[in-house]
Structure 1
Amino acid sequence: MTAAITDLLAYLDASPSPYHAAEEAGRRLTAAGSTAVDLVGSWADVPARGHVVVDGAVVAWSLPEGGPALPPLRMVGAHTDSPGLRLKPRPDTGVAGWRQLAVEVYGGALVNSWLDRDLGLSGSVAVQTGGRTEVRLVRVDRPLLRVPQLAIHLDREISSRGLQLDRQRHLTPVWGVGPVDVGGFRTLLAEELGVDAGTLAGWQVMVHDLTPAALVGADESLVSSGRLDDLCSCWAGLVAMEEVGPLGADAPVGALLVLNDHEEVGSVSTRGAGGAFLTHLLERLALARGGTRADLLAALPASALASADMAHATHPNHPEKHEPGHWVAVDGGPVVKVNANQRYATEPATQARFAAACARAGVPVQHFVGHNEVPCGSTIGPITAAELAVPTVDVGVAQLAMHSARELCGAVDPVRMAAALAAWCTPEHPEA
């Protein structure tokens, strides 16, 4: 258990942006024996155990060697992105002698949680030289930025009316003093990448909290980190794929992991669950292994997806926000999420399949359903279920402070989720 949680903390720290999360996932998959495949070009010799990394997204598969073109699949889905602050294309700005960088709020961030933190930068940069464009990752783990909160002396009403933040005016980080340095951010990126500033053609760069992931609590029973939603699920899916390993021809199902990007902003993108990324890849897999589109269409209804996204634990300071008949405990086991309005895609049959996987893994199960006056969020589950018409169950690890710059979960349930997903991917029978 200790080694596994140490591994989770390492993955969280290695993944300050979706691009880094996907790169680290690809590195781990390769180390586990999976073969990296280029999305562009021929798939004539596609391996039975391979993976594709595209920007902030990953798809990995393990199919029976010498088996059918595309067997029924046990799939695990998660997402690499998290809410936060991202730099604007021309970020250099400032007021009253302060140098600042303009940011845009990404997703449903708890913006107050980004105040008064030492922040670094990470993301993806396009470098153009000699008519060729190369995309490179950048990561700056120095305390470059800070969003300073207004002193209480200048906001006497904060104690009575609470913190009020204007996202345009109050979230602009400071990163120095002096006149506005137009081009200063570009110069910083160029220096970090070791290139000329004029070669930078574009970027998607975000801020990240520099505090490392850690075990906290008197007994170190809790995990504190940024981006638990949903890198904890990404990690559990990766561990499950490592456990699956190569499959023989008699394996009843294949295993597939999809880590989408852009879930926090609706999933409609080239690598989001609402796009054609996974559908196209599955069709290419079927064709490359000698099958047809008909084989793909036959495999999907016999397949099943576990959409793994973090779940709400019952908050001890706000229990009234939770459904009283379905309180969810930290470290109470993987959570099956149910919603009558299809915000989650769980069905009775898939719920039973996941419960069976948990039983084989020896881990408990609990259930989440929302309070009728507190609408719940959603996941890639309903979106992928709609795109592929594949039976789906929505599951997650219970946590507090979802969408904060710093989130909290138990130190037992991530390992339980990894074990449950490994069992999910390796049933003895396709219908189990």
Structure 2
Amino acid sequence: MREESDAFSRELCRFIDQGVTSLHSVCALVDHLEQARFTPLDGDAALKPGDTRYVRREGALVACRIGTEPLRRGGVVIAAAHTDSPGLHVKHRSVRRTDRFLQVPVEVYGGPILATWLDRDLALAGRIGHDPGAGEGRGGMTLISLPAVRGVIPNLAIHLNREINDGAVYNRQDHLRALFLDPSSRSSSGEDSSSQDREDQDPAAAFLALALSGTGIDPGAVRDAELTLVPADGARVTPQGLLLAPRIDNLAGCFSVLQALLGVQAAPQTQVAIFYDHEEVGSVTATGAAGAMTGQFLRRLCRLAPGGDVPLEDVLSRTVLISNDAAHARHPNYREKHDEGYAPVLTGGPVVKKSAVRRYASELPVTSWIAGVARRAGLPLQYLQNRSDIAAGSTIGPAVASRLAIPGVDLGVPILGMHSIRETGAVVDVEQMTALVAGTYKEDLDEIFDSPASR
């Protein structure tokens, strides 16, 4: 068992390290799926029981295994997570030269804890739109991850800001500019003949040249760029099993859904895994949970799956949502931030997230069903409901459940420091979440849809 757990930890860390942006996360997901013989859902060929397919859309992805029963009778279990994380996106057209640095403004994406991004090694990742290469007929799109290109957002020294420990406030436009050492600023000793050319180069072009070093892309061929700052330090697991990593919210959720789908066999219900983008900015996008992507995919399944063309409404009447997004563990230094009966802890197992005002999708009879799934699998279960004077965050659960009118539950791996540049979790919780999601893919749905509470 220890050997299996170590392998799980290594693969989890590798997955988190690969997923520097939502686009990179989807590439990692596709690699895993294709290794497991999932194939793209192309064309209108009829699907057979047990078929495994996926559809990728930008930073989102849908994968499925067709059930052994027709959709109308077998139903659908949707397990969902999101691929994006809070961060700092680069405004590369506004780069300027200042004190031998290339000073790079950013736009804040989502709700990161800003102070944690200062005084850190920061790399670049994203994608580049560029002119076609030799012999190509149209423009190209290249995904990049540049761990060797390092910048930093330094704090102001305490001697110049004596109040910094009383609560620092950072102006997002002025104080969060990343600094990259300007290649043209090197000492005159040993300077090459192109030094003056570099100094005369437009700062935005100089930054792109730095960002693209080693990629083979000509900066002059760049049409547009979407770049983000990413922490250079990767994920790691301590000997005691703590997971210290960027983007645990929500790549741990993505990983557990992925591993659950890959780890089960075909069941009567069709098993669907959806990885949405843009949760951190509200999900109201083409690839977000509040968009039309889910309905479009399910309509396609209704047309191609065994049992003939079925109305989507008939399938939705036997569809359940398992939303999997990180949950707030109780912080030992701030115990008063949780209600005592709703205070999940690290290593305590998966968390059911509840909200009377429906910030989470959890409701009976699905929460009762989940408790039964956990009990039969020998898994612990914890519960989170915010203090009544602290508003809950948002997640993908209500967005999907309300759009499709299906019952659901919001789950999460408990973590500390959510939205920090480095969050803290426990590997055992991710392992147990994987087992719980796998259980939902196999369990009978009659308890949900044939119970008096569901009528």
CA distance in 1, matches of 2:350, 2:399: 21
**Cα drift, residue 64 of structure 1:** 2.3
- For residues 131 and 190 of structure 1, do their structure 2 counterparts lie closer, same or farther at Cα, with a shift above 3 Å needed? farther
Structure 1: gaps spanning 5 or more residues: none
- For residues 204 and 361 of structure 1, do their structure 2 counterparts lie closer, same or farther at Cα, with a shift above 3 Å needed? farther
CA distance in 2, matches of 1:326, 1:64: 36
Counterpart in 2 of 1:367?
Answer: 383
Counterpart in 2 of 1:174?
Answer: 179
1:31-50 equivalent positions in 2, closer than 5 A: 31-38=35-42, 42-45=43-46, 48-50=51-53
1:396-411 equivalent positions in 2, closer than 5 A: 396-411=412-427
Counterpart in 1 of 2:219?
Answer: 197
Structure 2: gaps spanning 5 or more residues: 186-198, 449-455
Counterpart in 2 of 1:326?
Answer: 342
Equivalent pair of 1:84/1:106 in contact (CA under 8 Å): yes
Name the stretch that deviates more: 95-104 or 400-409: 95-104
Residue number among 437, 440, 443 corresponding to 1:421 in the alignment: 437
**Cα drift, residue 68 of structure 1:** 4.4
Q: Deviations over 1:322-364 (max 9, x none)?
A: 1233221111111000000110010111101211221232210
Equivalent pair of 1:357/1:421 in contact (CA under 8 Å): no
Counterpart in 2 of 1:56?
Answer: 59
SS in structure 2 of the partner of residue 318 of structure 1: helix
1:88 aligns with 2:91: yes
1:267 aligns with 2:283: yes
Matched pairs, number: 422
- For residues 372 and 324 of structure 1, do their structure 2 counterparts lie closer, same or farther at Cα, with a shift above 3 Å needed? same
CA distance in 1, matches of 2:365, 2:219: 56
CA distance in 2, matches of 1:94, 1:284: 52
Counterpart in 1 of 2:167?
Answer: 162
Residue number among 100, 111, 114 corresponding to 2:114 in the alignment: 111
Equivalent pair of 1:23/1:53 in contact (CA under 8 Å): no
Counterpart in 1 of 2:452?
Answer: none
1:338-357 equivalent positions in 2, closer than 5 A: 338-357=354-373
1:112-131 equivalent positions in 2, closer than 5 A: 112-129=115-132
Equivalent pair of 2:68/2:268 in contact (CA under 8 Å): no
Q: Deviations over 1:20-71 (max 9, x none)?
A: 1001001101111211235xxx232557211112221110000125744784
Equivalent pair of 1:119/1:142 in contact (CA under 8 Å): no
Counterpart in 2 of 1:236?
Answer: 256
Counterpart in 1 of 2:196?
Answer: none
SS in structure 2 of the partner of residue 357 of structure 1: helix
**Cα drift, residue 101 of structure 1:** 1.4
Quick one: which amino acid aligns to residue 220 of structure 2? G
SS in structure 1 of the partner of residue 26 of structure 2: helix
Equivalent pair of 2:111/2:419 in contact (CA under 8 Å): yes
In percent, how many aligned pairs have the same letter?
35
Q: Deviations over 1:309-332 (max 9, x none)?
A: 000000111112212332211111
Counterpart in 1 of 2:21?
Answer: 17
Q: Deviations over 1:253-272 (max 9, x none)?
A: 11000000000000011100
1:369-384 equivalent positions in 2, closer than 5 A: 369-384=385-400
Quick one: which amino acid aligns to residue 176 of structure 1? L
**Cα drift, residue 378 of structure 1:** 1.2
Q: Deviations over 1:365-396 (max 9, x none)?
A: 01000011111101100000011111110000
Counterpart in 1 of 2:150?
Answer: 144
Superposition RMSD in Å: 2.0
**Cα drift, residue 138 of structure 1:** 0.3
**Cα drift, residue 132 of structure 1:** 1.8
Equivalent pair of 1:70/1:295 in contact (CA under 8 Å): no
Equivalent pair of 1:138/1:189 in contact (CA under 8 Å): no
The structure that is helix-richer by fraction is: 2
**Cα drift, residue 126 of structure 1:** 2.0
Equivalent pair of 2:92/2:204 in contact (CA under 8 Å): no
Counterpart in 2 of 1:183?
Answer: 205
Counterpart in 1 of 2:247?
Answer: 227
CA distance in 2, matches of 1:143, 1:127: 20
Counterpart in 2 of 1:102?
Answer: 105
Counterpart in 2 of 1:28?
Answer: 32
Q: TM-score, normalization: structure 1?
A: 0.93
- For residues 134 and 358 of structure 1, do their structure 2 counterparts lie closer, same or farther at Cα, with a shift above 3 Å needed? farther
Equivalent pair of 1:143/1:210 in contact (CA under 8 Å): no
